[in-house]
């Protein structure tokens, strides 16, 4: 288990380095799409063992959700109008979740047990 955790952590680190390198390619383009901080963004429960995750922020606007596995493959894309996100189709593991609400963007780690 410790070995698997080390490999997963290493893959996440490499994934984040890859994203950072890609983001630095074109600063004019990136300034338009830079992450803007969410006020009171909460993703819970995280880690989760259930089939639902709740995403809340100060605004009640619809949220565009993209979820990627540790290899960078998009495994889910959905727009939610409530706080509830159904993750029952995802297998246990570590994921990267990107949330977009209007001009606001955030990227977080999501763990499914």
Q: What is the pLDDT of residue 44?
A: 95
Q: What is the pLDDT of residue 27?
A: 47
**How do the domains of the chain map onto residue ranges?**
35-112
Reply yes or no on whether the pLDDT at 17 is more than 80. no
Architecture label for domain 35-112: Sandwich (2.60)
**pLDDT tens figures, 51-100:** 999 999 988 899 999 999 999 999 999 999 999 999 999 999 999 999 99
Question: Residue-wise over 47-71: b if at least 16 C-beta within 10 A, else e?
Answer: ebeeeebebbbeeeeebebebbbbe
Give Cα 18 distance to the centre of its chain.
Answer: 15
**pLDDT tens figures, 2-14:** 555 555 555 555 5
Q: What is the pLDDT of residue 5?
A: 53
C-alpha span between 52 and 45 (Å, rounded):
8
């Amino acid at each position: 288990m410790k070995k698997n955790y080390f490999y997963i952590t290493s893959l996440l680190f490499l994934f984040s380095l890859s994203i950072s390198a890609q983001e630095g390619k074109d600063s004019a383009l990136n300034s338009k799409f830079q992450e803007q901080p969410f006020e009171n963004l909460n993703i819970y429960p995280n880690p989760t063992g259930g089939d639902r995750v709740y995403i809340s922020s100060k605004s009640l606007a619809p949220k565009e959700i993209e979820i990627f596995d540790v290899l960078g493959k998009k495994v889910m894309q959905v727009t939610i109008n409530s706080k509830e996100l159904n993750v029952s189709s995802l297998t246990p593991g570590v994921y990267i979740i990107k949330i977009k609400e209007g001009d606001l963007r955030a990227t977080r780690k999501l763990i499914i047990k």
